[in-house]
Each structure stands twice: as structure tokens, then as C-alpha cells.
Structure 1
């Protein structure tokens, strides 16, 4: 049942709260099909905890500026982002805010511009972006928003926003279904990508919150691997190595140099600017490595990291408890706490 559309700051607070709730409800199933890029069974947990950080950061924020609200949510998410999926979502959220500063209401054209900005930032944040993941869903959502009548005709009406959001969710669902055929591990396991499904849930929460409607659980019907009785696919895959995450202040040149060094040491490298600081920018750093010591040494050559965590990439049922680096300057905790 639809109520009056009010896509303002309060609606975006509801979006983050609703996203936190739906990801909490679906975290176990998202974990169960999490096998790419590593089968560590924590995509649902990581997305949930990252979105929770964003939601709680702005729950009481006294602003009507939707750009300001999303920028603060993005900063909070970036500082406490968990895993590949959480880090990528935090990049998305922070970038989404850029074209919305100074506005008090989301519209179809503004959503299209914000999604386009977020897509660019997300693809550029990864050293080796891979289709068939959350990135593909972001790209599909962006294309749908920019192809909608509202964006092409600069229609800022509520009706235009509704049509745009419905098109975005429909395109996102199609992109989720297509992930199964885009990555060999997903094709072999006959499942869709966990991060992609999580992002679909987030987009549907945005649609519901902005339009005053309910979530659409039927979106998930028929997604391969997502049935309630389906097995935990990740338990059939072995993962090795460690995940290193932190925030650190770097100049753009130092950030580029660190990215090159981390690319040589591991994979799944993500570097994205959080906010401007005297030294340049505060960056969120994420990498998977066989041995964390070389990565930690490379990072510390540029300064002392904060929010540092070093965790195993094995699935929770298969490996030792995840542990944070004791030298963290900000009391990093268990990545799945």
C-alpha cells in the first residue's frame, strides 16, 4: 500500500534503517552463497554491519540536506566497513551524496546523477573490478535511472521518482540473475552472487522508503541458491589467506603508490578516499593477502593506520576465530562481531 511520497532526509534515514533490518533478516542466506571472491561465508554479515554503522550515525542527525545526511552516513560506513561487500557499499554511499548536497528532496534526475557518480567511484576504487558482482548491479541500476523518462525529461515530480525507482529495482533484479553466468565459480555452483543480492535488497529498501511502500520479498523467489532449504554453498569451498582493512591519511601520490604495492602483494584491493584532511585524504584500505605482515609493513611506511583489522578468509565453520591486529590504534575488533 502506497502512502504519500516524501523522499526527503527522513525518508533516507528510513532507507538505511530498513536496509539494516532486511540485511539482518537475510544475512544467513547471503553468507550461505558467499563464494566469490573468497568463500568465507560473511557477505551478509559484513553488509549488515556496515549498513548498521551508517544508519546509526545519522539516526539523530538534525539536517534536511539529503547530501549532508548521506555524506555523514558514508563517512561512518567507510570508517567501519567490513569485507569486500561492506567496503564497496560504503564507497557507493559516500559517492551517492556528492550530487545531492544542498537538496532537500530526492527526484528522478537527481537519483540518476547520484547513481552515475557512485558507479564511477565504485569501479575506480577497485584495482581489478569484476563484472558479475555488486558492481554489475550498480551499473544496471545507473543505466535504468538514466534511461528513465524522468532523467531524460528533467522531470522532478514524485511520479517521475516512482517510475525511476521501480525501473532501478527491476534492472537490479535482472542484473542479479545474470551474475550466475558471469563468473565461473557461480556458474559451477549454480548460484547468484551474494553481494549482488544484498545490494538488490538495499535498492528495494530505498524504493520502499522513498515511495511509502512495502518491501518486495517476491524479488528473491527463484534466485538460484537462495531457497530457505538450500545448502550453505560456501562450506564446500576452501579459502586461504588474510583480509587486511584499515583507514589511513595519505596524499593522492602516496595512495597511488600504496595501491601498486598492495596489488603486488595480494588481490581484492580497494582504496577509496573517505574525507579531506591536511595530509591529503583519509583513505579506506582493503586487501586480501597470503601473509598480512608484508601488507602491514607497506601500509605503515606511510603512517599509522586506524580501524585496523586482520582476519582470516576461511569460512567461520572452517577456520580459527577472526582476530584483530593488537597494534590497532583505534581498538579494532573482530570483523564479524
Structure 2
């Protein structure tokens, strides 16, 4: 259908349809993660961000496109998760700026707002990388303003065409994408949004069908909270492959109970209660790419339900308050981490709020803002401990009226090192400088597994391989876990090293781990070798060398 102009309600319907499309295809976007590690979450982050934005305007009756887009931009800003979500929120913040004060717009005015979206996104990124979502929105904005038409549907058709063309060229701009044989995942998420907006116009605002996806709770019968739990971890995930001939289901039956194994088209959903979620995920990774991974400690939930039987809220990036000072303190710390053992470490180091999150579960800007607002202190320091949370932390800082300092910690070891440097007697600026300097004093390593075949920096990776990462870059690939850990540590230790700390995950066997520690103590007799039961999922080891 032809529309010479669109108003606020037209725009609301366009982005609502786009939100449905992105929700339906977020697992596909997740699967485009360049790294073969089990935490690709670009699609999930973008979908949760965009859903939060659209929810803000669902009840709006305004016909002003400037007003509707402004409210939506605020929703995106507060709901932004991960770097991709923050960049998406900035795109729509710029679009809202371009539509400001307008009740309705023609195609050229809308094209100008897309260009504003590009400028806003580029300003939000310290070191913009071409071949990403940034390139896609920039070229869309530039080409859209050069296209002349009086039909919004025609313009959106061209915008989708421009976005798709640019997306297909992203592997030529980023060698990592070419090596992994994928296009940029953030750019794909944006293309899906633009397609959804176009399809709304084309169809006369008929909304896309939301794919029905039964929750695992509907498959698994409710249980008495006083029943003894045989297997401790509720593990859910999706394999981006059709079900096999039954071999994997037979394997699952040897690993736990409460198994749900549902396949449709090229997707297989799995639910299992097991004591070894890492082994299950590694085996599943041999059959296809994994996404939507969720692991919950049922024994812990069981204890909490017995203590507070009226509480039934699912914990998602929920703030855990350690102390509630009656009088305003000088300093407060907010940290992000996964794994009960690692959270305990941060508690012991004086962190006031721990936000549950990290790999696979990035907290939103709103989650961080809420912790900032609840912190009763003159100066507040935020430790993201993950490169994909730093932008949301900085966005929370911009929103808050309080004195907030973001220490851009990318790893758990960096977060711990920063806290041990803190001096409660020093002023805020001196502490900021000291904490920033501490990031250079620790080397960070981690060990996980590959969820798909690929090639990274000349290294051939097969599904199920163990991966050794240093500063979030893959350095080693092996079929055996402990030889990889030994070699990874050896590459991290130098003549200036004084200590090695291993945070071991929930899937590490205690006997094998103790043997590793003994070996390291003998090999590095001049270094302090320390271990922490981090209880983190997905990552067998997080390693700090100082």
C-alpha cells in the first residue's frame, strides 16, 4: 500500500511488527556469533532491547510520530542489553531526534531521521568498527536520503535493499566474519527490524504471526517443593539442527531426568535435569550450533522456596543487596558476575550490589540504573567484568544524577584486581586512577568449549573442542581439557608473575582439579597457586595471573 506520510500510530505499528519478527528470528541471529563459544547472544540482546522499547509505546494513542518515537527511544535506552542492544538503542535515539517535533513525516524526512540514527550510533562507540551494524545503518541513512520518492512503502523497500546489500558485504570488511563464513550478527538483527517495518507498510499494517513457543514449564509437570531433588541443574537450550535418529535422546537419558526433547523444522529444544550441564552442552554442540542456553541451580531454588514460599519470581539479572547502610557512605561498588562462588568473592571484597549476569545474560541499562539508585553512597563504582556490558554501564552512568565511575573491566580477574587496589581513605579521583591502572597488572584466561566448526586466526576449530582464551581471544584449541589448561597457564606466566588463581566451574571434577593444582604447585614453586570454587556455568576455568 502507498503512504505519502506516516504518523505516530503508523510508526507504532511498524516497530511492533518489527519486534515480532526479531523475536521470531533471534535464535538465528544468535547463531551468527563469530566466536564458536557457547555464549552468542546478539539476537537475544537486540530482541530484549527492542521489545522493551516497543512496550513503552504500546498504550500510546498519540498521532505524533515525534512523541511516539521519543517515548520508544527512552524505552530502548533503559532496556538496552549488551553492546548490540546499546547500539540499537542509540540508533532509535537518533531516529527520535530526527523526528522530534513532527506529527507526521514524508519519505525524505524519515530518511533524514535514519541518517540521524547512524550519527547517534557512531557517537556512542569509542572506536567504530566497519563491517558491523554501524556500517549497515550508515549506508542505509546515506542512500535513503539520496533516494527520491513520495511513497513511504517504496522508501522502506529501498531501505531494506540497501541494508541487505551492505550486510552481504560485511565479510569483506571484517576478516573474522569471512573466516567464520557469516555476516555480521548485529547487522542481521537490524535488517530483520527494517524488514518488519517495511512489511507492516506493505501489508496495510497486518501484524506478523508470533511463533508459538511453549515454555518448558508447560512440558514439565509441577513438583512439590519438598520433593528431594535428584539432579541439581535445570538445563535448557536449543540446537540449531533437526533431531537426529534418537542417539542424543538416549545419551540424555544417561545424564539425568525430566527430559524434554522437542524437534521442529531445523530446531531441537532440549530440557534436562542433570548434575553435569557442561557435558550435556558439549555433547549437544557436536550436533549443531547452540543457543538460548539457560542453567539454573534447582537445589538453591528449592532452599529459597522453603525459606520464602510465596516468592516465585524468576531471577533474571536480579540485584543482590549485600548491605543496606543507614547512613550515606562515601563509596559503593556495583559488580556483574555469574557463578555463586564468584559472587561470594565480590561480596567478600566489599561489593554492595552484585548483578547476576555476564556471558549469555547481559543485564540491561535499567538493571544497572536501579542498583545505582539504591546505592546509598557519595561515589559509586561500577565493574562490568565483561566487554559486552561496558556500554550499558556507561549508559547507566549518563542517565544517573549521582557521581558514578565506570571501571571498564572486561574479565572477572580484572574486577578482582581493581577491588584489591581500592583505598577507602583516598579520594574518588585517586581511586579511579588506581583502579584503572590495576587493569594492566593482571592477565586473564578462560577455558570453554566450541559449539561449532570454524576457523579463528588460522586455528581450525571443531565442535566439542576445548578452547583456551587469553584476554577473550582464542589462543589454544585441543581435544583434551587439562593439557590445554596447563599450556594456557604456561603461556600466561612470565618472569614477573607472582601468583596464579583458578576459578573453577560447576562442571569441573574435584579429583581431577586437585591433581591439576598439585602439578601447578610443583611446576611453579615460586608462585602462589590459589583456587576458588567459582561455580560458573559454561566456562571450566577462569584464570588470573598476576
The TM-score bracket by the shorter chain reads 0.5 to 0.7
2:179 is equivalent to residue 188 of structure 1: yes
Change (3 A) 1:170 1:79: same
Q: Quote the residue 2:246 is aligned against.
A: none
Give the secondary-structure state (helix, strand or coil) at the position aligned to 1:181.
helix
Distance 1:211 1:91 in 2: 26
In structure 1, what is the equivalent of residue 477 of structure 2? Answer: none
Q: What is aligned with 2:134? A: 135
Larger Rg: 2
Q: What's the offset of the Cα at 1:26?
A: 0.6
Give the strand-richer structure, 1 or 2. 2
Q: Which runs of 5+ in 2 are unaligned?
A: 209-239, 243-264, 268-287, 293-337, 339-357, 373-379, 423-427, 430-445, 452-463, 465-504, 506-535, 539-546
CA gap 1:169/1:278 in 2 versus in 1, 3 angstroms:
closer
Q: Distance in 2 between matches of 1:316 and 1:58?
A: 40
In the alignment, is residue 178 of structure 1 matched against residue 235 of structure 2?
no
2-structure distance, mates of 1:87, 1:286: 18
For 2:155 and 2:404, locate their aligned partners in 1 and report how far apart those are by CA, in whole Å. Answer: 34
Give the Cα separation in 2 of the matches to 1:313 and 1:13: 44
Does residue 290 (structure 1) correspond to residue 411 (structure 2)? The answer is yes
| SS of residue paired to 1:197 | helix
Residue 111 of structure 2 is matched in structure 1 by 112
What are the Cα deviations for residues 118-144 of structure 1, in whole angstroms up to 9, with x where unaligned? 111101101121111111110111111
Q: Kindly state the Cα deviation for residue 267 of structure 1 after the two structures are TM-superposed.
A: 4.8
Q: Is the 8 A contact 1:29 1:226 kept in 2?
A: no
Distance in 2 (CA, whole Å) between partners of 1:53 and 1:81 is 8
Give the superposition deviation at 1:171: 0.7
Q: Following TM superposition, by how much is the alpha carbon of 1:164 offset from its aligned partner in structure 2, in angstroms?
A: 2.4
What is the rounded CA distance, in whole Å, between the counterparts of 2:79 and 2:537 in structure 1?
A: 19
| Partner in structure 1 of residue 190 of structure 2 | 199
1:46 alignment partner in structure 2 = 45
Q: Distance in 1 between matches of 2:407 and 2:202?
A: 35
Contact in 2 for aligned 1:9/1:104 (Cα 8 Å)? yes
Q: What TM-score, normalized to structure 1?
A: 0.67
Q: CA deviation at 1:165?
A: 1.9
RMSD: 4.5
* Greater per-residue helix proportion: 1
Structure 1 unaligned regions, length at least 5: 151-156, 217-224, 251-257, 303-311, 323-337
Shift of the alpha carbon at 1:54? 0.9
Pair 183,137 (structure 1): closer, same or farther in 2 beyond 3 Å: same
Using the TM superposition, give the Cα deviation of residue 107 of structure 1 relative to its aligned residue in structure 2, in angstroms.
Answer: 1.8
Indicate how the Cα distance of structure 1 residues 103 and 128 shifts in structure 2: closer, same or farther if over 3 A, else same: same
Aligned length: 279
Q: Displacement of 1:89 after TM fit?
A: 0.7
* Separation in structure 2 between the aligned mates of residue 295 and residue 33 of structure 1, nearest angstrom: 33
Per the TM alignment, residue 83 of structure 1 is displaced from its structure 2 partner at its CA by 1.2
2:294 corresponds to 1:232: no
Q: Does 1:165 align with 2:156?
A: yes
Displacement of 1:181 after TM fit?
2.1
Structure 2 partner of 1:221: none
The TM-score with structure 2 as length reference comes to 0.43
